[in-house]
Structure 1
C-alpha cells in the first residue's frame, strides 16, 4: 500500500476524531433535556443521532479488529444517556480507529475484513470499509450539526480538513486530544 494511502486513511481517522470531539464539546453546553429533545432528522434527537454514530462505530471497529460483535452492537440503540458518557465512549472508539489506521502496513488496505451481520458474514476490503465508516460519520454528524443549530448553542465548524495554515487554530483542541500535527501527518 502506498505511504500516501496509509497517511490519508490515518488523517481521515484523526479528522473524524477531531470532528466528534468538537461536536460533543459543543453539545456539552446543552441541558440534558435539550440533548434529548425531539428534533427533525433521521433520528429523533441529538442524543439518538450521536448514539447511532457510536453504535455503528463500535460495530465496524470491532470488525476491523477481528471481532465478532455483529448485531449485538445495536442491541441498545442509545447506550449513553448523557453527553459526558457519550463523549468518553466516542473518544474510546476514535482512539481505536486511529490506532488501527496507524498500524496499517503494506497490503492492509486490500485485507478482507469479516463483518458479522448476524444472518451472514460479509467480506469487505479494509479500505472500502474505512471509507464507508468515514462517510457514515460525516453524514450523521451533519444531521447532528443541523439539529444543534436549532438550539442556543453555536455549532462548531466541521467542514474543514486540517489545512496547514490553520494549525494554530486547532492547537488547543489537538492538545486536549493528546495530538500534534506530527501525530496526524508524520509519514512512516
Structure 2
C-alpha cells in the first residue's frame, strides 16, 4: 500500500475512486510505475513463501489452500507483467489475485482449529467482505476504484490481522 500511495502521488491525474490499482503499473502512467509492478511481484513471492510454510496447518484442506496460494501468486505476477489495458491476461491475473486472496482468508478462517476465535472470525469476515465487494465491482455498483480497492484491501487487512496474530503468539511463547 505504501508503494501504491507513492506511485499514485507521482501519477498526474490519478484518482483513487475512479482509477484501478493496476493503472498505477502502466509505464505511461508515471516514472514510478515500476514500483507498483515490483510491489505486485513482492506480494506474489511473499504470499507463496508464507503459504508453503503454513500449508500443513490446514490438514486435508492444504491442497485447496496451496491452489489458492498459487492462483494468487500467478495472478499478481500477471498483473505486474501484463499491464492494464493490454489484454485478457491482465484481467485473468486480477481475477485470480483478488478471488484467491479472499479464498485464502476464508480457508484459514474456517480451517485452522488452533487459531484464536477472534482471528478466525476476522479472517472469515475479511474474506466474505472481499467477495461482496468483488460482486459489487462486477455488477458495476459504485466507482470502480473504490470497489476494486474494497476487494483488494480486504486481503491486505487479513495479512495485517495474520501478522498481529503471529506477533501475539510469539509474544506469548516468550513469557
From the two aligned structures, give the one with the greater helix fraction.
Answer: 2
- The TM tier, using the shorter chain, reads 0.3 to 0.5
From the two aligned structures, give the one with the greater strand fraction.
Answer: 1
Q: TM-score, normalised by structure 2?
A: 0.33
